[in-house]
Structure 1
Amino acid sequence: MNEQSAGSGALRPDFYDALPIHAGFEGLADGAAYRPVPDDWFVGTADIVGSTELIAAGRYKVVNTVGAAVISAQINAAGGRRFPFVFGGDGAGFSFEADRLEAARDALARVIGWARREFEIEMRGAIVPVGAIRAAGHELAVARYAPSPGVDYAMFSGGGMAWAEGEMKRGRYRVEAAPADQYPDLAGLSCRWTPMRARHGRILSLLAIPRADAPIAAVADAMRRIIALTVGLERGGHPVPAAGPGFEWPPLGLELEARARRGGGSLILNKLRLLAETLFALFLFRTGRGVGGFDPGHYVETTSANADFRKFDDGLKMTIDCDAETYKKLEAMLAEAAAKGLLDYGLFEQDEAIMTCIVPSVSSDDHVHFVDGASGGYTTAALAIKRRG
């Protein structure tokens, strides 16, 4: 998790595509796995104002959906070009090339306006030059991690993403909401799976954030020890069953998906269309029958394999199915690292995990699945850090 300087050929137009893809998560605790994002790129960041109150009101599924919508809109606006992004529970971060600035700004503005109209949710959004991050003394470096052969996720280090988020919260580099007649393209955004209950204890949302002045090697060692402790859990604490999550009809997220996809159309008609579509999907899942290149058994297994239940985003973030004994060991390990001045941490326990998905095509394996705790997750764990501070 070290800071790196820009340069060494990082300005290539194929920068992200050319990055090596890492299959081992533990190795990402070491900053040597990361490459500096090009100086002429930008960072986009967004979060929900008052997410704590929304969670207390039982609207965390809505919070997750709106956060994932930021990434969905950017994927659709990118026209097939790959770029690094990260899901944060109540928001998201992403980085992109200079020639995509207007398209990225427009997509973010549309999501901000859509969240306000559809859900009465206020979002903040900002687009920050990577050069400004470095001028402020921070770094933005990225690595690619593949939890399965079908998909890979961006991991960020260097403190740059967190600094950009802080600037956004101070009202700088602000992106305003788009006009009411402009809707985001959220094709592929899906919220159909049922919540996943803990099978071994509780669903634990864990954040471990390095302190700015902490020794790099000591922080990396602490992160590796935390990850190593979770390796003893079933599938490393993966909260999604290996056979895939559950599917009920009508799906709990039906209305959220209808609001995401309707644009300026009728909400009722979109609900009816989704009811028919999801009823057919239920038939396929229950019978195991495939159609048009869609294999339901393979799809649910790939869904589990592709899920992003752990990541590096200027720190370690995990949503794991954790037994009581391992929880106590993790808490003790984190408290020791905090006492040594290496990191700050937040923990939050809940009974279930939830998943919000972006599925470009059900017949390919590149669908992405964002995992969070069902009762507050990363947002509440982050609040624990603030209270401790």
Structure 2
Amino acid sequence: MSLVQPRNDRFYEELPAFTDFAKVSEEHAFVELPGDWVLLATDIVQSSDAVAEGHYKTVNMIAAATLAAILNTAKGADLPFVFGGDGAMAAVPARLAAPASAALAGLRNMAREVAGLELRVGAFPVADLRASGAGLKVRKFELSEGNHLAMFAGGGLDLAEAMLKDPERSAAYIVPDTGGEAPPPLDGLSCRWEPVFSERGFMVTVMLRPARGQAEGLRAILADLDARLGIALTEADPEAAPVHRSNLRFRFPPGGLWREMRMVGWRRGRGRVLARALFESVVFLLAQLTGRRIGPLVPDRYMGELRRNIDFRKFDDTLRLVLDLSGDQTAALQAYLDAEQEAGRLHYGMHVADSALITCLVFSLDKSRHIHFIDGANGGFTQAARAFKQNRA
């Protein structure tokens, strides 16, 4: 058997990255995913009920666990993915579709047993999405060296989400239960940061989509947010970014430690996971207090990378944002979005909270491979998505 990966498998790894977020509006720069790739998708059933019951952090953890399971199965391969708060999606080459689907089937069992939540899991061949009239194009946005966020266009993610939630349309694509699923590989998944509180007034979660073409519509929206509202999203380090060193809080033991132990350690040895998490938390606390390197952890470097590696701005046909805004900016943003929606130029959904939640995937401190998913507290993207869908109806 050849050890050389087919070139198709390295499609995303070899895709050039861009660093200027303004270029997300360059529709011509998006590239079609190979037709033999598969889009894996998860969605938590009745996530709004879980939010109402105060379990949104658990919802976020299961969504992030989707990506942990897939990326660990891929053993370090660079893959395009998006975190959606109450679900996630990732595209994989054909050779990874079966093992990654099996990992997600195991995750579904974990979600049932540990959290009492039902997880939809689907595997949609890119060729099938195209045959149904949707494209699936991607670009690679560099957060920091070696850490990327995928930007998607073409409607394929929307179609997969709609199919996943429709029992008739999804029947051929649902990953089945076999009864013998192994525990999912969730190494690197953690939730040790305390909620991140706004420093300016409010943590605002926004989903918005231009009604006209992606390039023209997005350019106009990004320009308006900057010129009219003072929200400069295209800067390398926007003032409205939700995470700063000053609002990152770490306590010992971390509040999310037990949730991490139950999920990551499910059927794999919770005691071992707890012991390791406690040890890592002590090491992190000592490094923070002394400012000195301990093993692979260089505290100043890590904290700087963490800020850059937050997914607070992303695009998947819909612009998704988590922003720290003043009261005046929040009111001005809502007024602008209402007016633009009334004029037929965009659709949007918005949720306002006092804080946001961070869920982390830390694969290697030595190689600076870590990414951090952020969502508004008390329902963030789940609540914004509900408003977004109502406004599009």
So what's the TM-score if we normalise by structure 2? 0.90
- Residue 220 of structure 2: aligned partner: 222
Q: Which letter does structure 2 place at the counterpart of 1:183?
A: P
Counterpart Cα distance in 2 of 1:361 and 1:101: 24
Aligned length: 377
Ranges in structure 1 where 5+ consecutive residues have no aligned partner: 1-10
- What displacement does 1:227 show? 5.0
**Native 8 Å contact 1:201 1:321 kept in 2:** yes
- Residue 285 of structure 1: aligned partner: 288
- What displacement does 1:279 show? 2.5
Q: Secondary structure at the match of 1:19?
A: coil
Counterpart Cα distance in 1 of 2:276 and 2:178: 27
Counterpart Cα distance in 1 of 2:224 and 2:106: 39
Q: Which letter does structure 1 place at the counterpart of 2:217?
A: V
1:244-300 deviation per Cα after TM superposition (whole angstroms, max 9, x unaligned)? 722111101101211222131454554344334322321222222212232122212
1:57-94 deviation per Cα after TM superposition (whole angstroms, max 9, x unaligned)? 11111010000000000000012221100100011011
**Native 8 Å contact 2:38 2:125 kept in 1:** yes
1:74 aligns with 2:70: yes
**Map of 1:196-345 to 2, 5 A cutoff?**
196-211=196-211, 214-225=212-223, 228=226, 229-231=230-232, 235-242=238-245, 245-268=248-271, 270-345=273-348
Counterpart Cα distance in 1 of 2:317 and 2:215: 15
Identity over aligned pairs, percent? 35
**Native 8 Å contact 1:207 1:316 kept in 2:** yes
- What displacement does 1:165 show? 0.8
Q: Secondary structure at the match of 1:231?
A: coil
**Map of 1:162-181 to 2, 5 A cutoff?**
162-171=158-167, 172=170, 173-177=173-177, 179=179
Change (3 A) 1:303 1:352: same
- What displacement does 1:383 show? 1.1
Counterpart Cα distance in 1 of 2:114 and 2:377: 21
1:294-342 deviation per Cα after TM superposition (whole angstroms, max 9, x unaligned)? 2122212211111111100221000000112222332233223322333
1:376 aligns with 2:379: yes
**Native 8 Å contact 1:245 1:304 kept in 2:** no
**Native 8 Å contact 1:204 1:319 kept in 2:** yes
Change (3 A) 1:191 1:275: same
Q: Secondary structure at the match of 1:360?
A: strand
Counterpart Cα distance in 2 of 1:83 and 1:67: 16
- What displacement does 1:187 show? 0.4
1:92 aligns with 2:117: no
Root-mean-square deviation (CA, aligned residues, Å) is: 2.1
Q: Which among 19, 23, 26 is matched to residue 27 of structure 1?
A: 23
Q: Which letter does structure 2 place at the counterpart of 1:125?
A: V
- What displacement does 1:170 show? 0.7
The range that moved more, 49-58 or 328-337, is 328-337
**Native 8 Å contact 1:244 1:304 kept in 2:** no
- Residue 194 of structure 1: aligned partner: 194
The range that moved more, 87-96 or 291-300, is 291-300
Change (3 A) 1:227 1:135: farther
**Native 8 Å contact 2:264 2:270 kept in 1:** no
Counterpart Cα distance in 2 of 1:66 and 1:144: 24
Q: Which letter does structure 2 place at the counterpart of 1:299?
A: Y
- What displacement does 1:18 show? 2.1
